[in-house]
Structure 1
Amino acid sequence: MTAIQVDQLSVSYGDTKVINELSLTIHDGEFFTLLGPSGCGKTTLLRTIAGFITPVAGRLSFDDADVTRVPTHRRDIGMVFQDYALFPDKTVNTNVAYGLKARHLERSAIPNRVEEALEQVGMTGYGDRLPGELSGGQRQRVALARALAIRPRVLLMDEPLSNLDTKLRLSIREAIGDLQRELGITTVFVTHDQEEALALSDRIALFRSGNIDQLGTPNEIYRRPASSYAADFIGAANVLPVTIADDAATNDETVTVSLGSASLRGIRRTALRAGSAYAVARPEHLRLLPGDGHSDPSHEETGSSVIPGEVIRHQYLGYKHQYSVRLTDGTVIASAEPASGSSHSAGDLVSVVFPTAETLVMAS
């Protein structure tokens, strides 16, 4: 297997710098995801690792070997594209064998390698079909088989699930994850879909304007986002503008902020100073209690902040209740609770419970 080292890499398109002095390490056998919106630089980095783009500065290594200017066909990579990139007039067997022939593998060994690759992706028995006779999910499995047949050091995947419908996307996603764990191949996966990233990755690099905004495990990025951008991009989040008083901008782990006229206590995630900041809370971490909490002492919650509000929307989604709640200062927040619990209706007065340990405060 292979580790990938990116050292002070810069990539430009004309006068536009797309990646600026980026450094990171992708570990041997790791499923590593480059995540972010369109135009953030994630696909550019993938194509640079593949050798399709030559950087203007920096170094790219596979293990200890410098491959910065090594051509694509000599990097020993497998590539899976968004649009499958299969030859429409050639059979599945011929498509999968293409890379093996290009590498001048002994002719007698090719059929066994093709059969093995098709078996790995669950496509045994489809070898004589043309791509046009296959479903989108089957075509993507063939594209994956073609990449795996050459037994590459590194597997690169450029948004391979984006052209599939929801059910197929989930099925192929599970197949990719199972296969990668079985083979232990170093994999770099590009997506803009945060659910794919959370489900598949050992680590995620969240991109923003050619730089990494946060790098970590799915749990780290979801539970402890390092910025309001990360919180908002990874999963649903309430990103609330708050104010920090002069005497609250300390180095303590917890900090009290003002949300309108209400006080909110949370965990410090960045350096803070008096003035504007953000408080971040996931919908599933909030609880709604009946009544506005002003007169009922049972609403007092240890280790939590309680803010009155009014339910303005309730959606029943089968497995959960989804709420929109307007707080006393007019801020609208989202809350999600299991469907097994009691529900609230639009117009109900409620108390929104913000657990201190799950409310993150960060610089604006």
Structure 2
Amino acid sequence: MNPPRTPPRIVHVGGSAPYDIHIGHGLLDDGAALAAHVRGRHVLLLSDTNVAPLYAERVAAALQAARPELKIGRFVLPAGEASKTLAGFGEAITALAELGATRDACVFALGGGVVGDLAGFAAACWMRGVDCVQLPTTLLSMVDSSVGGKTAVDLPQGKNLVGAFHLPRAVFADTGALTSLPLRELRAGLAEVIKYGAIRDPLFMEWLGAEREALLAGDAHALATAIARSCEHKAEIVERDPLEKGERALLNLGHTFGHAIETEQGYGAPGSDNLNHGEAVAVGMVLAARLSTQLGLAPASDAEALQALLARYGLPTQIPVGLAPEALLARMRLDKKNIAGRLRLVLWRGIGQAMVVPDVDEAQVLQVLAGTP
């Protein structure tokens, strides 16, 4: 039974190109609201093989009903991180060309983080930039990748190494889409939600501890609250630092470690037991917290509390077996935050007090990766 329709929550993102994040149930069917962000008559609906069968027809029908003159093309990627490549980007660009998309076209990114990143990058590059509307369908993409305009594709050498900043015209987070989300993917999104408490909001961390059962059960009100609070945190940060010159780097707590794990495992190939992005970030946050303790920046009790909360949510907290510390360190050296070949990591002084630490000693990082004090 669907929850009663209520007005969506709206989180405003300010800055040079302001936009709104709409959070609520049934937004994918609101053709008038979606079509309001289409300036021309060309729309490319970009999705993947998991999401398109569930929602693509609904979104296309809603847009067409609101704007019958729209010419709507579709491009569907194979689901999974392995599709977020230069080859996939090239296919998306070809789809825009075949649609005859003009400079007032709009790309709708219907799916999770992979779809959002690739669709946003294609929109950033087609004719030097066309509009993009993000329609995130996973919790992880609702609270992280759909907000802030980071777009990219992966290389074999590392995640998100080719990309651009390209702000969306709007974000519509339809919480109804979360009912079709597997529990593992829901947990992965909750890792990114927990991150916001870890970097700047101890009270939110306490709330997440208290609301664990409701969130894991998919309670609509609890999820909407978690999404809105997470988006509020991200909006406040990206408004002040849209191009990640300073404070925005704090949003990457655990990501340098996590990206290294993802890359070394081969980006979660379909059918494998490799960690997905949220799971890798969960492990990465634990490693960042342990390193902070080892460097004398934060109490061990806070690292233990973070690890315990992640474990209560069913998330991994240890590096997968078979990954060599030296290989992970080599991956971390390619992180975009590094300067002059020196590691620059997001660590913390304790829960709610994230910080960027330059010139981190690689020997200390290696000890944490090896699990040695």
The structure that is helix-richer by fraction is: 2
For the criterion TM > 0.5, the same-fold answer is no
**So what's the TM-score if we normalise by structure 2?**
0.34
